[in-house]
Amino acid sequence: MAKRTTIFPLAIMEKVIKAKNSDFRVSEDAKVEFERVLKEYSLNIAEKAIMNAKHAGRVTVKKEDIELAVR
């Protein structure tokens, strides 16, 4: 079986999903899908933040770049 590569550990995905109600169980498929969605969303924000830093003439992404990317 091929090893699955993730950015965010699946155990953390379960903790995030269960944060509001620990009575629920979380399937492996749900954790994998949640990780996929978060990864996609995060990469989109990172791309926008990098564009913001480049527009400002910097090679360092700052907090402000992330905040602007999320808006």
For the chain, domain boundaries: 27-70
Average pLDDT over residues 28-57: 97
Q: Which CATH superfamily is domain 27-70 in?
A: Histone, subunit A (1.10.20.10)
Q: Are 26 and 47 in contact (CB under 8 A)?
A: no
pLDDT of residue 47: 98
The 10s digit of each residue's pLDDT in 43-70 is 999 999 999 999 999 999 999 999 999 9
Residue whose tokens read 């169980």 = 25
Q: Are 19 and 34 in contact (CB under 8 A)?
A: no
Q: What is the mean pLDDT of the chain?
A: 93
